[in-house]
Amino acid sequence: MSLCGKGMIYLAVLGPSLVVCLFFSDIGFGVDVYNALYDYADEGDLFAACGAALCLLLFICDVQFWNRWLQLIGLAAGWALFVVVGVLKGTAYPQGPLIVGLVHIPVILGLLRYSSICSEPSSKIFYSSIWSLSFTAGLQILIAWVCWIAIHDWDGQHFWDEEERERISLELDHLHAKLGVDYRQHCLLAITGGGALAADPVENERLYS
């Protein structure tokens, strides 16, 4: 496989992983993103309804018989709605943005396989390149994560202890204010069996059941 092909595979694996680390984890500014997402939960429901309506419309209109460009437009619209819903519903489903980000890896790799860049090598060479480059990218991210945890001069140490949990809770101040949650009053009490995780029982049931 050419150096260009290997570079494209490496970017296909590393790019979405970096987006997830930067935008949806505490290594980057994921806390700020999740703080902001709560304000857009209703819009997420609206886009989810639009996505369901689009799927129904494409089915009724026999999208499989359309010409190729119209099919691609319908697919792109559905994919865009999937991404938007996955991100905007990040407060109710924190794993949503992570799934949306990482699912782009196999999608991009599939597109590369059928592109002129990576179509010539045999399947064995192509998939062995994916394995080795994915391992390399994963190892680099793992090293960065361990350094972020342990190196104080980077952003302070981030070992998972009570101090770290309280820090994250305080940084999620906007989200917790909307939910009526106080870490010391609700979460610590809940751990010891002495209270609920949210002041609003409906929110408590929705988010933490």
129, 152, 175 — which closes off a domain?
A: 152
134, 152, 170 — which closes off a domain?
A: 152
CA distance 186 to 56: 43
Q: Which residues span the domain enclosing 168?
A: 160-209
Nearest to 24 by CA among 67, 70, 83, 74: 83
Question: What total number of domains does the chain contain?
Answer: 2
What pLDDT was estimated at residue 118?
Answer: 72
110, 129, 152 — which closes off a domain?
A: 152
Asked whether residue 71 falls in the same domain as residue 12, the answer is yes
Asked whether residue 89 falls in the same domain as residue 177, the answer is no
Asked whether residue 141 falls in the same domain as residue 202, the answer is no
- Could you tell me if 208 and 68 are in contact, meaning their C-beta atoms sit under 8 angstroms apart? no
Please tell me the least confidently modeled range out of 24-28, 76-80, 125-129, 167-171: 167-171
Asked whether residue 95 falls in the same domain as residue 44, the answer is yes
Q: Is the pTM of this model over 0.85?
A: no
CA distance 126 to 109: 10
Asked whether residue 39 falls in the same domain as residue 112, the answer is yes
CA distance 42 to 153: 39
Nearest to 21 by CA among 30, 12, 13: 30
Asked whether residue 85 falls in the same domain as residue 110, the answer is yes
Asked whether residue 183 falls in the same domain as residue 81, the answer is no
Kindly report, residue by residue over 18-47, the tens digit of the pLDDT: 999 999 988 888 888 888 888 888 899 999
Asked whether residue 164 falls in the same domain as residue 133, the answer is no
**In the chain, what's the furthest Cα-to-Cα distance?**
63
Most confident of 89-98, 155-164, 179-188: 89-98
